[in-house]
Structure 1
Amino acid sequence: MEKARASRSILAATSACRQRLTECIAMPALMADEWPRKRLADFNLWASDSGAMAKQRASLDRRLADKHTVREVTLNLLNLLENLLIRCKSKALETLVKRDEETDLLELFEDIEDIMAQLVRISAAIRGAGMRARFDRADDSFNPERHTELQRHLEFLVQVSSLGESQKERGNLDLVSPRNTTAVAQRLISANLIRRHRYLYARRRWTKQAPESETVTTLPVVLEESIPSGQVQTPATVPAPFSKADVRETKPQLAAPSVITSTVPTVIQGPIQIPHGRQSSMTAPSSTSSKAVYPKPPKFGKDALFFRCPCCFQTLPVTSAKRSRWRKHLSQDIQPYTCILDDCSKPLQLYLTRKEWTQHMREEHEASKYWLCSACLEPTRFDVEGHFDHHLRTQHGDDVHEDQIPTFISMSTHTSPPSLLSCPLCPPQADGEEVDPDALLDHAAEHIHSFSLQSLPWPIMEDGEREYLQLGPDGHLDDIEFFDTASGPDSADGS
């Protein structure tokens, strides 16, 4: 039996676990607080997101065909999950027979939840390894005509931001409409359209709303039965439709979204790091820190283990909803930085961190060198190497020997990207106004980061986007969870 399980597919193991969870719903001893029903909802969410139930080339079996270790770990977790669920059923039967004995199931419940959390973390690692390929494939199908309303909205924001404070106070919108955006500002708009398309591509790639006739999930009804003393009997089950009202009460919904017809597997480019433990470290990198206000994650039930990101449609553990972790995850979906220098060879390349962004501008654009003298009490900057050399010989000759000067110069060399003349999302600088280059770069980075958040999905989609997702002309995001728009001290960034 165990040997057969070890050799079966992930699809077969997932189907078996799903069946065991369905059977647990029929056990009265397990239905306290609807625990099996909630876990089935969580498991369906993982299965639909990971491709574990897909039967074509997009299946998890196919994607892990060459990743033997990761496939084996995933299959072992599923087999262990099935064994734990069988033990749950056995405990439930004991409780039915010996009603005067209290059977402790809490430890089993915790072990099952831990196994499911590990499955979600492994799926996240798999998706992370193929992120670059997924972005590239999304960009190949990008069509700006699907996002005309978003484009007009972004152009309006850019045009308003180019007005001076006195013009804004007058509130004369006639000053806005005729203005043309700069080439760099238009690039930032186009980058946001690309981001929006990536979100849509993720939704279309990983999930698809089932037709109305297919959204009913058949689950057993719990029947209380009297069992004669000394006789063990499996509770009878009667198939019954699971209504949409029940789905709303126990989010995420039990009906697993079907994988769309696209069967091209995402290329896993990097190594997959198998996570360990109950909770992986997800410290937000300082390089993405910003004052940009991120939206709160979707609402989820207090007993939910997972939730779905509205951007990448990845299943995440509820611990990812915490402020720094949620911000880190969402920034990975957004890739918030875009080059703002003229004549860029990669104008629509998106960057996750400010470090990557400044590195691009330093390495891909003509960078200027400068030298900082650390031998001075306060570091002195020199823009010409010869001046720095002369300074060392005349001012620090006693401390820096002549044969050490070349090494000292090399160690003191720094580079900076071409200086910005102004922030592309602000009014132009007045002629003759002096601006600190570092302060301007910090200022522009904040504005670019905040502007990138304008790409996030809208609850009411425009026609071109709905057509791309085959959702029809009307309505909101159907049954898909959206960001929690409530504000307050519990928001993702405290706003």
Structure 2
Amino acid sequence: MANISALVPSCLNGFRSLNDSLAALLPESGRVDGDIPEDLRPSIKNELGRFRVWVTNLGAHRTGNSSLDYRLRDASHIRTQVTNLLNGLLECLQDGASIANGTVEPWDKMEPTSEDEDSDSDGFEPHAPAGLTELSQIVSEASEIINCLFTLSVSIHNPAPHDRFRRSAMTDTSPYEEFDTAHIRHKFPSADQGIVRQLGKANSFRRQYFRYREEHHRKLAQGLPDEGMEPPCDDTKTIADSTVASSLPQHLKTSKLDGSGFENCDIRSEAGRTESSFAPSSAPDGSRSRMPSMPDEAQQGPFECPFCYRVISVKTTTEWRKHVFGDLRPYICLYPDCSAAGQDFQRRHQWIQHVQKAHWKILLCPLGCKDLYIEDILALEAHLATFHKEHAETLSPESLIQLSEQERPLDTSKKCELCDEELDSFKAYARHVGRHQEDVALFVLPDRGLDEESLEGKEKALGPDHTSTLDTVNNLGILYSDQGRLKEAETMYQRALEGKEKALGPDHTSTLSTVNNLGLLYSDQGRLKEAETMYQRALEGKEKALGPDHTSTLNTVYNLGILYQTQGRLKEAEVMYQRALSGSS
């Protein structure tokens, strides 16, 4: 059985051969075939784009331990299906190229034989309906095979959620926790600070997971040949993405890859990088976060989720919501000292079953006070000290709980731990607190509309100087910098910096992140003195606000080390590198 990693470049070469053969039939080539439909070449390019999305999503072109062959080594039935489909696709492409270059005559151009005429008299029609050619049928068959590959990838690419989160846990969340905790505190000012920290940490972990998924997707995409002309690359090389035009939406096209080789995508450092501002793709402050709309591609069959980068198949809004919340795992237990602290729940019913079984309890006075429902052990101890002083000192907290704890009636009221609203039943509690947690989790979803239009929308909705608007301005600067549009990036950074200095103050950590980004931009432009000024300002501010060993502080330390090395100040560079290394260990 052929390796998947060997069949993929063969298929890419098959696409190229078919496309080249059709190009030779264009008017400027001197070889014109009027029976070739005008939309055939665009259709082939579109199918090539879809095939490349499938390949990069699964890393089907890779070799070694990251290859699809290796990952399916214990699932031979799936591997057999994949190779059969790839062989079928390759055969289609080769047949199409043979017809297009004139090597084989298609059946739609064959002259009927006497046997055919005899068959016609019996009612059998050997030729296709008007307008249908063998070439168009081949392209249609190739499209169907690619649809099957996408459908199959849903099974290939769907591990248990807790395993996915465990792998992402190797990435540091500390750069996000301050921001996420501050957001929860602002949203629920009356909530207990322990719950605030718990929810903030959960959101930071979700950010970490989506970042891991993005990096893993980028890693799988590396090494795919540009036009299918080259053999499979090994795991140490990268090559630029294809520029083949297709009707695919932008978020399904593989992103441009740099040539710097692989990063370790499982443990990725913040050092030497820009710092994003985390603005939600949601509603303005104080309102509920929005569930992102289902991508249009969902109606066309399996597609790549823009958040987790897995190929999924959903047809309805309900299925889409279920998938998004499956990625977010939005529910956690809010009870202090719970044995399941830190555990998240994928579905609301799983969370609320835990709450009912472990925590939906009430304490009754063990000495017979009727119709007295007590919320917690401290209140019970206070009751005993006031009304049953003679017994208060003889009962330990453990024995009090054993004597007093009863299942709480489902129709009793309880306050929401987050907003203090009185809820009249267990059902109301589940619905109300569940929605709060969904709202909190949706806040972390990456903004899919990071462009001038999304900035314009925020400017209209929130104003040009709102901190959420300025976060988008900062992140647009990062985008422009990554695209090499350095002047536009500088304009964005300068605007973000001026706005944040006014709104948040010059020493706020969000302001200092933009200062760090400006330093990196100046360094890229060769403006090394200005870069050093920015880095020094960012470093001093972060040391005061976050401490000398915070990840964000060490990020700027490392950037300074790179700058000093560029300037030839090697001893100073070594000091910075050593500090960054010792602080992160």
Cα distance, 1:453 vs structure 2: 0.6
Of 446, 450, 454 in structure 1, the residue corresponding to residue 443 of structure 2 is 454
Alignment check: 8 A CA contact 1:77 1:115 kept:
yes
**Structure 2 matches for 1:38-187, cutoff 5 A?**
38-93=46-101, 101=109, 103-146=133-176, 148-159=178-189, 162=190, 181-187=192-198
**1:441 and 2:449 equivalent?**
no
The 5 Å alignment of 1:74-473 reads 74-93=82-101, 101=109, 103-146=133-176, 148-159=178-189, 162=190, 181-208=192-219, 217-218=226-227, 246=245, 251=250, 252-253=252-253, 260-262=262-264, 293-298=290-295, 307-316=303-312, 320=314, 322-365=316-359, 421-426=414-419, 428-429=420-421, 435-458=424-447
In structure 1, what is the Cα distance between the partners aligned to 2:155 and 2:415?
40
3-state secondary structure, aligned to 2:200: helix
Amino acid at match of 2:226: T
Normalised TM-score (structure 2): 0.50
For residues 244 and 140 of structure 2, the distance between their equivalents in structure 1, rounded to whole angstroms, comes to 28
Amino acid at match of 1:55: T
Output the amino acid matched with 1:314. R
Local SS of the residue matching 1:455: coil
Asked if structure 2 preserves the Cα contact closer than 8 Å seen for 1:336 and 1:351, the reply is yes
CA 1:100–1:114: 2 relative to 1, 3 Å: closer
Deviation at 1:45, TM superposition (A): 0.8
What is the deviation of 1:368? 7.3
Greater Cα shift, 131-140 or 92-101 = 92-101
Does the C-alpha gap of structure 1 residues 130 and 189 become closer, same or farther in structure 2, counting only changes over 3 Å?
same
CA deviation digits over 1:381-427, x for unaligned, max 9? Answer: xx9xxxxxxxxxxxxxxxxxxxxxxxxxxxxxx9989988422332x
* Cα deviations by residue, 1:453-485 (Å, 9 ceiling, x for unpaired): 111113569xxxxxxxxx998227979xxxxxx
CA contact (8 A) 2:416 2:423 kept: no
Whether the 8 Å CA contact 1:190–1:348 is kept in 2: the answer is: no
Q: TM-score, normalised by structure 1?
A: 0.59
SS at match of 1:333: helix
Larger % of helix: which? 2
Q: Distance in 2 between matches of 1:19 and 1:420?
A: 67
Following the alignment from structure 1 to structure 2, what is the Cα–Cα distance between the partners of residues 451 and 41? 36
Paired residue type of 2:169? D
SS in 1 for 2:479: coil
Give the structure 2 partner of residue 166 of structure 1.
Answer: none
Task: Verify the 8 A CA contact 2:241 2:256 in the aligned structure 1.
Answer: no
Give the direction of change, closer, same or farther, for the CA distance of 1:456–1:33 in structure 2 (3 Å limit): same
CA distance in 1, matches of 2:76, 2:66: 17
Indicate how the Cα distance of structure 1 residues 478 and 104 shifts in structure 2: closer, same or farther if over 3 A, else same.
Answer: farther
Superposed CA RMSD: 4.4
Tell me the CA shift for residue 81 of structure 1.
Answer: 1.7
Q: CA deviation at 1:61?
A: 0.9
- Aligned residue number for residue 475 of structure 1: 479
Cα pair distance change 1:357/1:11, threshold 3 Å: same
Identity %: 23
Deviation track 1:44-88 (CA, whole Å, cap 9, x = no partner) reads: 111111121122312111111111111112111111221222233
Matched to 1:456, the amino acid is L
Q: CA deviation at 1:105?
A: 3.9
Kept in 1, the 8 Å contact 2:181–2:197? The answer is no
Contact 2:56 2:221 in 1 (8 A): no
Q: Is the 8 A contact 2:59 2:68 kept in 1?
A: yes
Amino acid at match of 1:85: L
SS in 1 for 2:77: helix
Alpha carbons 1:362, 1:417 under 8 Å: kept = no
Deviations 1:294-319 (A, max 9, x none): 112456699x86643222112346xx
Structure 2 Cα separation of the partners of residues 358 and 47 of structure 1: 40
C-alpha distance 362-458 of structure 1, shift in aligned 2 (>3 A) = same
* Offset at residue 111 of structure 1 (A): 2.7
8 Å contact kept, 2:157–2:311: no
Q: Deviations over 1:333-385 (max 9, x none)?
A: 1112121222122322221111211233344557679xxxxxxxxxxxxx9xx
Alpha-carbon shift at residue 97 of structure 1 (Å): 7.0
Contact 1:292 1:446 in 2 (8 A): no
Whether the 8 Å contact between 1:215 and 1:255 is mirrored in structure 2 is: no
- By relative contact order (CA 8 Å, sep 6+), the higher-ranking structure is 1
Q: Which runs of 5+ in 2 are unaligned?
A: 23-35, 110-130, 230-239, 267-287, 364-372, 374-406, 452-474, 484-585
Hey, what's the Cα distance between the residues in 2 that align with 1:64 and 1:245?
30
Contact 2:216 2:265 in 1 (8 A): no
* Bigger-Rg structure (1/2): 2
> Which of 12, 15, 21 is equivalent to 2:15?
21
Residue number in structure 1 paired with 2:5: 11
